[in-house]
Amino acid sequence: MELKWTWLAITLMVIVLVWLVVWLFPTPFRRTPRNAVLVAHAARLRRIPRFRVLARRREFEMLARVVAVLFLLGGTILLSSRLTSTDSHQPDVSNRDIMLCLDVSGSMTEYDEELAREFAKISEGLDGERIGLTIWHNASVTVFPLTDDYDFVLEQLETAADKFASYDYDYVAGTLVGNGNSGSLISDGLVSCVDRFDRPDEERGRAIVLASDNDPQGKPIFTLPEASDYAAEHDVVVYGLGTREMSVLPGAVEGFTSAVENTGGTFSVMGSDGSTNSIAEGINELEAARSKEPARVTVIDEPALGTGLVSAGVLLVVLAGIRRRA
Amino acid sequence: MTAHLTRVKARMSIHAHRKVRGLLEGEYASMHTGRSMDFNDLREYVRGDDVKDIDWKASARSRALLIKRYAAARKHTILMVASTGRSMAAMNDLDVPKRDLAVMVAGVVGYLAVRHGDRVSLAWGDSVEQHQMPPASGELNLERRLGAIHDNTLPTGPPADLTAVLKYVARTVRRRTILVVISDEYTIDPELSAVLRRLTVQHELLFVSIGDLDPTTIHSNGNVVDIDSGHVVPEWARYDEALRREYAALLTGQATNMRRELDALNIVHETVHDDASAIRAVLKLLERHRHAGRR
């Protein structure tokens, strides 16, 4: 709250003050009225009870008028000097980044539709985060980068789920590079997902939802512990989603779990009770780092107070006038 | 110089012509017990008495030397006591200040006395200072006394205090006088009552009250100021019917109380409202006084 034309307010206040001083100080501006009729012993009049009744009534009326004048003056000064408020708007939209990291290897195809739908469910339970989708086989492809446009996110996840359901290999084109003797490289996928986070200099809560069966074929560039360390290094929390068949593969669950817990995340099995819920809760618990967007400063006229005061003053004047008539 | 007295005479001839003339031609004299050269009584001779005063015939009858006594052929002294505090400078009605009315009352009384050959003295004052002018006969001296009343009653003067003035009179005036009190008191408090009682022992007392302008009856847009406090009588208090009634009742009650108090003191009392009533009141006062205040 500040005044746009402070000088006007000060000038008006000075004028009002001078007027009050002239009004209140009897000399030398105000003397006993001239041409007055002099009467003696009029003090007797003041002792009559009826006089006191009238005086109290008059007092009340005058009080109303004084308040009315004060309201009018204050309101007018406020209005004329334009009371404004500067609204420094700090848009704290997204404070967390979540990358959905999807394994689209052959062993995962049957789960990918389910996963995409789960992601859609997860993203519905989120608020203010940026969400991105990256799919990988032995190479990573960004389906859509981190964004806070949830309509777009849901639409994309819907599309992804449909594509996975129809085994549309065009959709996953580019995730399998080379002759196909390597694939489902979870560690490389994780590293490239970690690299998908932008604004590295900002303190944001970062999370990856990594869905895989941890069944890498061929030789990855990074080992899974290396990838996990890399994620931890970048303060990225990884939440693991495994398949039910993973338990068959030796060491798959253990390796995935340790990699995930190394970053502070959790591992859960897809489709098991409350898996999506636990992940959504975990994401919410992520530190809500404020995004450092510049504050938007808006100057807004605040006529409400002045208008209210003036209106109240006018109302009081009218009421006092009616009372006087009555 | 003779402005006050001229006005008084003019008013007297307008308002109460016949009665005033009657008073001037001798009725006024009857209010005084002493008639010069009148025989009063006899008493036994004591050494030092003038031999010329011996009533030989009566002495022969009673076998003792008797002296004739006459009532002293003296001039009477009228002492006018005027309260000249600032409340007397206020208005009696919208046109006439109370001061002018006081001068009128004093003028009527004084003129009658002067024409009768009596001497008129004046005491005046307020709560701060009191003065007097010695007894003197003649219209010029009366005019000076009227001028003193007029000129010493100022709106800027100290408050009125009749008790103080009367105490001053009781302290300083030795001779027996006919004392005419002109004031605007509306109550007789115990102190005033005491000093009045003290003065009635020495003097013949006539009490003239001068009324006040009732602020609730002023139908003018101007300001009305209470001269005692300097406060403006608020306009809203001047146009309220209920207040007007209550105030009138209060004034009536106070007037009745005052009359009762003064009657108890056996002081002849009149209230004066305007010029005409001033003359009438003085005549009534003198008449009542002649009948020992019994009428």
Question: What digits encode the pLDDT tens for the residues B166-219?
Answer: 999 999 998 888 899 999 988 899 999 999 999 998 888 889 999 888 888 877
Q: Does residue B247 register a pLDDT over 80? A: yes
B225 touches chain A (CB under 8 A): yes
Using H for helix, E for strand and C for coil, what is the string for A70-127?
HHHHHHHHHHHCCEEEEEEECCCCCCEEEEEEEECCHHHHHHHHHHHHHHHHHHHCCC
Confirm if A119 and A97 have CB atoms less than 8 A apart: no
Nearest-by-CA chain B residue for A53: B243
pLDDT above 90 covers what percent of chain B? 31
Least confident range from A97-101, B42-46, B99-103, B285-289: namely B285-289
Mean model confidence pLDDT for chain A:
80
Residue type present at position B144:
R
Ordered domains of chain B (ranges, CATH): 3-29+74-290 (3.40.50.410), 37-70 (no CATH)
Specify the pLDDT at position A123.
74
pLDDT for res B73: 45
Lowest mean pLDDT across A37-41, A168-172, A286-290, B132-136: A286-290
What's the number of CA atoms in the CB half-sphere (13 Å) around residue B144? 13
A89, with CB counted inside 10 A (0-12, 13-18, 19+), is exposed
Q: Which residues pair with A208 in a beta bridge?
A: A99, A238
pLDDT of residue B143 exceeding 90: yes
Q: Please give the radius of gyration of chain B, using alpha carbons only, rounded to the nearest integer.
A: 22
Q: Is the pLDDT of residue B56 over 70?
A: yes
- From A34's Cα to the closest Cα of chain B, the distance in A is 8
- Give the C-alpha separation, B138 to B146, whole Å: 13
Residue A83: which H helix or E strand, with range?
strand A83-89
Q: What is the pLDDT of residues A220-246, one digit of tens each?
A: 888 888 888 888 888 888 888 887 777
The residue with greater pLDDT, A169 or B292, is A169
**Of B212, B152, B219, which Cα lies nearest the Cα of A40?**
B212
Is B186's Cβ below 8 Å from some Cβ in A?
A: yes
Q: pLDDT at position B198, please?
A: 93
Q: Is B257 left (phi over 0), alpha (psi -120 to 50) or beta?
A: alpha
Q: DSSP code of B87?
A: G
Q: How many helices (H) and strands (E) does chain B have?
A: 9, 9
In this structure, chain A runs to a length of 326
Hey, is the C-beta of B233 within 8 angstroms of any chain A C-beta?
yes
Q: Whole-angstrom distance between the N-terminal and C-terminal Cα of chain B?
A: 38
- Spell out which residues of chain A touch residue B97, defining contact as CB-CB under 8 Å: 38
Give the chain B residue nearest A43 (alpha carbons): B226
User: What are the CA-CA distances from residue B53 to residues B37, B40, B47 (Å)?
Assistant: 13, 13, 12
**B81 pLDDT above the threshold of 90:** yes
pLDDT digits (tens, 9 = 90+) for A16-55: 999 888 888 766 544 555 677 888 888 888 888 888 998 8
Which of A261-275, A292-306, B86-100: highest mean pLDDT? B86-100
* Cβ of residue B98 closer than 8 Å to a chain A Cβ: yes
With an 8 Å Cβ cutoff, is B99 touching chain A?
A: no
Q: Which of B86, B186, B247 sits opposite A45 (nearest CB)?
A: B247
Cβ burial of A313 (10 Å; 0-12, 13-18, 19+) is buried
Position with higher pLDDT, A270 vs B8? B8
Of A39, A49, A58, the CB nearest to B233: A39
Residue in B216, B228, B254 closest to A40 by CB:
B228
Q: State the span(s) of chain A assigned CATH 3.40.50.410.
A: 96-285
Measured between CA atoms, the residue of chain A closest to residue B211 is: A40
Per-residue model confidence as pLDDT tens digits over A198-224: 877 777 778 888 888 888 888 888 888
CB contact under 8 A, A40 and B212: yes
Residue A292, pLDDT above cutoff 60? no
**What average pLDDT does the segment A287-307 reach?**
68
Q: pLDDT: is A7 or A285 the higher one?
A: A7
Residues 6+ apart with CB under 8 A from A69: A313
Section B70-85 average pLDDT:
76
Residue among B84, B208, B105 nearest B151 (CA): B84
Q: Is 0.95 exceeded by the ipTM?
A: no
Does the distance separating the beta carbons of B225 and A33 come in below 8 Å?
A: yes
Residues 100-119 of B with CB under 8 A from A: none
**Quick one: average pLDDT of A277-297?**
57
Q: Which CATH superfamily is domain A96-285 in?
A: von Willebrand factor, type A domain (3.40.50.410)
B228 in contact with A at a CB cutoff of 8 Å?
yes
Mean pLDDT of B96-120: 87
Please tell me the distance in Å from A62's CA to the nearest CA on chain B: 12
Q: How confident is the model at residue B39 (pLDDT cuts 50, 70, 90)?
A: low
Given CB atoms, is B242 within the 8 Å cutoff of chain A?
yes
| pLDDT at B195 (0 to 100) | 94
pLDDT greater than 80 at residue A93: no
Position A276 scores a pLDDT of: 62
CB contact under 8 A, B215 and A45: yes
Question: pLDDT value at position A273?
Answer: 59
Give pLDDT, residue B2. 56
pLDDT band at B232 (very low <50, low <70, confident <90, very high): confident
| A contacts of B95 (beta carbons < 8 Å) | none
> Is the pLDDT confidence value at B92 over 70?
yes
In what helix (H) or strand (E) does residue A132 lie, and over which residues does it extend?
Answer: strand A129-136
Q: Is the pLDDT of residue B20 over 60?
A: no
Residues β-bridged to residue A141: A135
